[in-house]
């Protein structure tokens, strides 16, 4: 006699078989229903493909200028920097503090720096050669966006001429709007790979020339600012040393002239009158002291020059945008395939939902 557990096991297997049969029957019914509607699906596929082709033809093409770069810094100047600091300390100079602004450009700070309002404004107000003539980038930006036509009914805007200065209320207001629009729709800055310190700048606009000019000018301006910031203290120290060298050299020249003048005034001094030799001896001491000081200053100046060259960082461009630029325009065949695929999926989903709805309303499991 079968036990109760065996009976329950048989019943469960029968239920599983019935459930599997129902599932297979429902799938077969759905497939037959889809096949029966193939004409409708095909029509939707054709309509979707044709719509995509028309859209690709009327859609404005965007051009993408892409530039990649890496931050390069000299790091092997520690010994020379220490020597310079020891010598400079005698004259109250701080050579050891060169390049103290390095933290500003570390990590992802460079990304926010390139996205800053000051850098975008400076780039837009930079003069570049476009179409054989020099003009501000912002003027070309206004032109290709058709802002002049949009401002035709606004006399205070339609004839506005941009200047490479800040503090002009109307210009600054427009630049603020341009800045927001560029960050939101056009400019993308980030790392190519989180593992590496390689950055990428992308500018996507409807104007191929503007896209290329913008990224190149942005990086050029950033490089200038970067170098000036990193080497500012070194340049200040070098300028102080140069002034001191010139000053001591002038003192030395005056002392040498003084010795000559004292000798000429008393070419044959009486050895019994020592006071007649005091002036010449004082000048001689001045010459010796100034010579020693000048020697140390010149050494320090040369070390400062070498340190400045070693500490000068650069933004090394790896890949620059080259015309013709990459664009987002799709070919007719590709557009038709994408549009047709989307239309086919949507049509199938509608048919499937309709089939399920009919099954639920009719209560027919098949």
The predicted pLDDT at position 3 comes to: 55
What is the band of 194 on the pLDDT scale with cuts at 50, 70, 90?
A: confident
- Percent share of the chain, pLDDT over 70: 76
Q: Once rounded to an integer, what is the mean pLDDT over residues 55-71?
A: 84
The CA distance from 341 to 337, in Å, is 6
The predicted pLDDT at position 14 comes to: 52
Q: Once rounded to an integer, what is the mean pLDDT over residues 256-272?
A: 64
The predicted pLDDT at position 13 comes to: 56
The Cβ of residue 263 has, within 10 Å, a number of other Cβ atoms equal to 15
The predicted pLDDT at position 95 comes to: 46
Tokens of 170: 């109307």
The predicted pLDDT at position 295 comes to: 86
The predicted pLDDT at position 236 comes to: 79
Q: Once rounded to an integer, what is the mean pLDDT over residues 157-180?
A: 87
- Percent share of the chain, pLDDT over 90: 18
Name the more confident of 308 and 141: 141
The predicted pLDDT at position 232 comes to: 76
What is the band of 279 on the pLDDT scale with cuts at 50, 70, 90?
A: low
**Which residues does 149 contact at the CB level (< 8 Å), separation at least 6?**
none
* Long-range contacts of residues 320-323, Cβ cutoff 8 Å, at least 24 apart: 320/67, 320/216, 321/65, 321/66, 321/67, 321/211, 321/212, 321/215, 321/216, 323/208, 323/212
What is the band of 77 on the pLDDT scale with cuts at 50, 70, 90?
A: very low
Specify burial of residue 314 (Cβ count, 10 A radius: 0-12, 13-18, 19+).
middle
Name the more confident of 363 and 6: 363
The answer to whether residues 98 and 351 touch, using CB atoms and an 8 Å cutoff, is no
What is the band of 99 on the pLDDT scale with cuts at 50, 70, 90?
A: very low
Which residue has 């310190």 as its token pair?
Answer: 197
Q: Once rounded to an integer, what is the mean pLDDT over residues 181-192?
A: 91
Q: Once rounded to an integer, what is the mean pLDDT over residues 42-64?
A: 84
The predicted pLDDT at position 81 comes to: 46
Q: Once rounded to an integer, what is the mean pLDDT over residues 118-127?
A: 93
Q: Which residues make beta-bridge pairs with 134?
A: 129
Q: What does pTM read for this prediction?
A: 0.63
The answer to whether residues 93 and 237 touch, using CB atoms and an 8 Å cutoff, is yes
The Cβ of residue 86 has, within 10 Å, a number of other Cβ atoms equal to 13
The predicted pLDDT at position 211 comes to: 93
The predicted pLDDT at position 256 comes to: 79
User: pLDDT of 209-224, one tens digit each?
Assistant: 999 999 999 999 988 8
Average pLDDT, the chain: 78
Instruction: With a cut of 80, say whether residue 336 has pLDDT above it.
Output: yes
Q: Which residues make beta-bridge pairs with 199?
A: 69, 191
């Amino acid at each position: 006699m079968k036990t109760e557990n065996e009976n329950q096991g048989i019943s469960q297997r029968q239920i599983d078989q019935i459930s599997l049969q129902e599932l297979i029957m429902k799938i077969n019914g759905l497939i037959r229903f889809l096949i029966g509607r193939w004409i409708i699906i095909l029509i939707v596929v054709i309509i979707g493909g044709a719509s995509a082709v028309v859209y690709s033809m009327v859609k404005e093409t965007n051009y993408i200028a892409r530039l990649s770069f890496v931050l390069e810094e000299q790091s092997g100047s520690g010994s020379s920097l220490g020597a310079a600091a020891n010598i400079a300390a005698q004259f109250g100079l701080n050579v050891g503090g060169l390049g103290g602004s390095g933290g500003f450009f570390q990590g992802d700070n460079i990304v926010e720096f390139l996205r800053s309002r000051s850098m975008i404004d400076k780039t837009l107000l930079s003069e570049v050669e476009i179409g054989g003539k020099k003009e501000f980038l912002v003027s070309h930006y206004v032109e290709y966006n058709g802002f002049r036509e949009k401002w035709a009914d606004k006399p205070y805007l339609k004839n506005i001429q941009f200047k490479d200065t800040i503090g002009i209320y109307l210009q600054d207001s427009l630049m603020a709007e341009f800045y927001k629009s560029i960050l939101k729709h056009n400019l993308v800055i980030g790392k190519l790979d989180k593992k590496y310190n390689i950055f990428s700048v992308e500018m996507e606009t409807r104007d191929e020339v503007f896209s290329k000019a913008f990224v190149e000018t942005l990086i050029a301006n950033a490089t200038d600012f970067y170098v000036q910031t990193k080497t500012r203290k070194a340049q200040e120290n070098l300028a102080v040393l140069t002034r001191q060298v010139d000053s001591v050299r002038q003192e030395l020249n005056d002392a040498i002239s003084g010795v000559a003048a004292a000798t000429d005034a008393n070419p044959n001094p009486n050895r019994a009158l020592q006071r007649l030799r005091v002036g010449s001896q004082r000048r001689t001491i001045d010459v010796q002291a100034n010579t020693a000081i000048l020697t140390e200053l010149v050494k320090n100046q040369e070390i400062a020059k070498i340190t400045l060259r070693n500490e000068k960082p650069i933004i090394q461009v790896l890949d620059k945008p080259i015309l013709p630029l990459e664009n987002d325009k799709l070919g007719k065949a590709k557009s038709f395939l994408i549009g047709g695929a989307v239309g086919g999926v949507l049509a199938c989903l509608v048919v499937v939902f309709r089939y399920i709805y009919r099954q639920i309303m009719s209560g027919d499991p098949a």
